[in-house]
Structure 1
Amino acid sequence: MAAAGAPLPRALSAELRWDPPLAAGLAPPRQETRARASWPLPRQEIVFSRGRLISTNFNSRSLLCPPCHCAQVALADAKIAYQADPDKHAGVLAYELVQGNLVQWNSFMDKSIPDPPTAVLLHGILGSGKNWGSFAKRLAQEFPMWQFLLVDLRCHGDSASIKKRGPHTVASTAFDVLKLIGQLRLSPRVLVGHSFGGKVALSMVDQAAKPLARPVRVWVLDATPGKVRSGLDGEDHPAELIDFLRRMPVQVNSKQEVVDALVKAKFSVDVARWVATNLRRSSPSGSRSSPSYSWIFNLNGISEMYKSYEDTNLWRIVENVPRGVHINFLKAERSLHRWALEDLQRIHTAEEVAADEAGGVEMHVLEDAGHWVHADNPDGLFRILSSTFRIETSLRGRE
């Protein structure tokens, strides 16, 4: 994720950045939740310290996480630390849960408190849930009754260490996320997916009526439902980048070694530096041996996922929108994707059909932004997405 102030690559159909604050001077919300595999969590913030449970509140009370009875501590107006038993939660995706400060404690042990409205934020190829961290905090401040689930998709981020059976496709990735929100007992009202994540969101709607709520609003950010049209010649192409990375050694001596190799192979300096942020030191700090670094993602799986992204066609969902589903497409003004005229025409035609079928399809354009919409123009994206959360908050208030 890109260092603050560093330029972001504009010519790669993937999404990963150094995660600079998306709003200068914006303080994080009071409540933010981090977890690995849990269920709806209380209005607190989770903190990790090498997997140990930490509490500074002597009045905390113990709870159990059904059905596996993992230890959990709930604190009143304080922070909690919690990590589920990895053996009992095998295969569950890694995630973060960012909660607004008006989100109340809720679990299926206490149904007197309604479920908080939830949005799921999905990253693109070679990204991670952390790509959405600053943006999710901003949303949580503006909409304090909401919570935002940031998922590390299979083969990416902290989920890369979780063994997933192939094939690694858009559909299997969508199923992973559906399984996660089912285990968390959540019914998301909003799905937001960038690039590859956009097709994952559409596939989630395609695969299951539950645990998705109705109505559900889907945002597909700078991706079309069908054919992926990469940028022009001379631009960095993701398939070529992934293939090059797969041919590199599993371990390297330095991040600069990777940057130099990519630049020599004619990839842009920005993309080379961006890719190097996916390296994690594998030799212990302070070791007498020379430092070594390894990738934090599963490149073989990611290669399959990108091929599926190119091949997957989900136009049927757009042109026959299920009742209660509203699909929003957002095109970046300077997108590296070539949005074909036929794609735009099909989306506009679907808008008219969906309006007659109690569903919805809309097309939006984000000005002054390339493919990395939430980094290039976070203010513009925030304004556009905010309408969805205001509408859903208003509808929920009338339930």
Structure 2
Amino acid sequence: MKLNYKLQGKGQPIVFLHGVFGSLDNLNMLAKDLVSDYQTIQVDLRNHGLSPWSNQINYTSMAQDVAELCHELQLKDIILIGHSMGGKVAMQLSQVIPQIIQKIVVIDIAPVKYSTSPNAIILRALMYCLNNQITDRKQIMSIMQEAGLSEATCLFLLKSYKKQHWLFNLQVINDQYANICDWQTIPSSSPCLKPILFIRGGNSVYLADKYQNTIYAQFPNAKIVTIEGAGHNVHAEKTQQVLQLLHDWLNCSSCSV
């Protein structure tokens, strides 16, 4: 699948991978800073943004899409930065194109299968609107807020609502959301040895302490850093702290393969 992407700048390539319900602009606050020193490639994953829709969404297919794009652009020594679902795609890519990856940054997600997700509330609200053919933005906003979603979450979702149409494939995401929660554990006999930085929000449940052992088992060269006072969207809530962390880690010669 040929993905939609935005390429800017020159130098070592950084590929940005967004989370579920998002688009390539979601990590723009990081890309617009890093573009002065790197080539940035912001990607719309399948069933999101302006990339094609498919009746399949899982980490095997999403990683293969990104791998094909990297080969098309002839990228090498890649740095991957992925948030949430995009972080899992980045980790999956370590098994698909390890030879062209230098480092990986995973923002607030763990290499585990989640049994529950806060996104269940989002899916119920959006599917109610879809099934009842509700297309008015104000009415959709009202329904989402009545469901208990914060104003910030509602506004984030509505960024992908254009001309009475969701830019993400809501039906497929809903039907196959178990695939997004899923994860195929990397065998302990052949772990990923790439340097990988996990950034977690101190108020988030996605990168809980209980996952540390399974992280190190799959990624022995992992570094886990907590940014206090931030939730799941730590890159948006604490942008300057995340950027400082990224600059320090990316410029660390001892953090290279």
TM-score of the alignment, normalized to the shorter chain, above 0.5: yes
Question: Aligned equivalents of 2:159 and 2:215: distance in 1?
Answer: 36
Deviation of 1:347 after TM superposition, in Å, equals: 3.5
Question: Structure 1, unaligned stretches of length 5 or more?
Answer: 1-90, 104-115, 232-236, 282-292, 355-359
| Contact 1:347/1:363 (<8 A) preserved | no
- Paired residue for 1:203, among 92, 103, 107? 92
- State which of 371, 375, 378 in structure 1 corresponds to 2:232: 371
**Partners in 1 of 2:243 and 2:28 — Cα distance?**
14
Please report how far the alpha carbon of residue 349 of structure 1 lies from its aligned counterpart in structure 2 after TM superposition. Answer: 6.2
Question: Residue 181 of structure 2 aligns to which amino acid in structure 1?
Answer: E
Report deviation, 1:267. Answer: 3.3
Q: Is 1:179 the equivalent of 2:68?
A: yes
- 1:140 is aligned to 35
The alignment's C-alpha RMSD in Å is: 2.7
The residue matched to 1:93 in structure 2 has which SS? coil
Identical aligned pairs, as a percentage? 26
- Could you tell me which residue of structure 1 aligns to residue 25 of structure 2? 130
Residue 188 of structure 1: how far off its partner (Å):
4.2
Report the equivalent of 2:191: 321
Structure 2 residue runs of 5 or longer lacking an equivalent are: none
Match of 1:66 in 2: none
Aligned residues of 1:202 and 1:314 also touching (Cα < 8 A): no
**Letter matched to residue 226 of structure 1:** V
Q: CA 1:300/1:225 → structure 2, altered by over 3 Å: closer, same or farther?
A: same
Structure 2 equivalent of residue 385 of structure 1 = 246
Aligned to 1:150: 42
- Separation in 2 of the partners of 1:314 and 1:218? 17
Cα drift, residue 304 of structure 1: 4.8
Deviations 1:122-152 (A, max 9, x none): 10000111112232111123xx2x1011000
- TM-score, normalised by the number of residues in structure 2: 0.87
Cα contact 2:12–2:39 (8 A) shared by 1: yes
Distance (whole Å) between structure 1 residues aligned to residue 141 and residue 237 of structure 2: 23
The answer to whether the 8 Å contact 1:97/1:149 transfers is yes
TM-score, structure 1 as length reference: 0.58
Cα distance, 1:244–1:183 mapped onto 2, change above 3 Å = same
**Aligned counterpart, 2:157:** 275
Q: Deviations over 1:165-208 (max 9, x none)?
A: x4310111011000111111112421111111111011111123
Q: 1:179 to 1:304 in 2, by over 3 A?
A: farther
Between structure 1 and structure 2, the one with the greater Rg is 1
**Residue 345 and residue 253 in structure 1: after superposition, are their counterparts in 2 closer, same or farther (change >3 A)?**
closer
| Number of equivalent positions | 256
Kept in 1, the 8 Å contact 2:107–2:200? The answer is yes
> Where is the helix percentage greater, Structure 1 or Structure 2?
2
Give the aligned partner of residue 95 of structure 1. Answer: 5
Aligned to 2:215: 347
Alignment of structure 1 residues 1-399 onto 2, 5 Å: 91-99=1-9, 103=10, 116-141=11-36, 144=37, 146-159=38-51, 162-164=52-54, 166-210=55-99, 212-213=100-101, 216-228=102-114, 230=116, 237-249=118-130, 252-281=134-163, 293-304=164-175, 306-316=177-187, 320-323=190-193, 325-337=194-206, 339-341=208-210, 343-347=211-215, 354=220, 360-391=221-252
Distance of 1:349 and 1:338 partners within structure 2: 15
Where does residue 68 of structure 1 map in the other structure? none
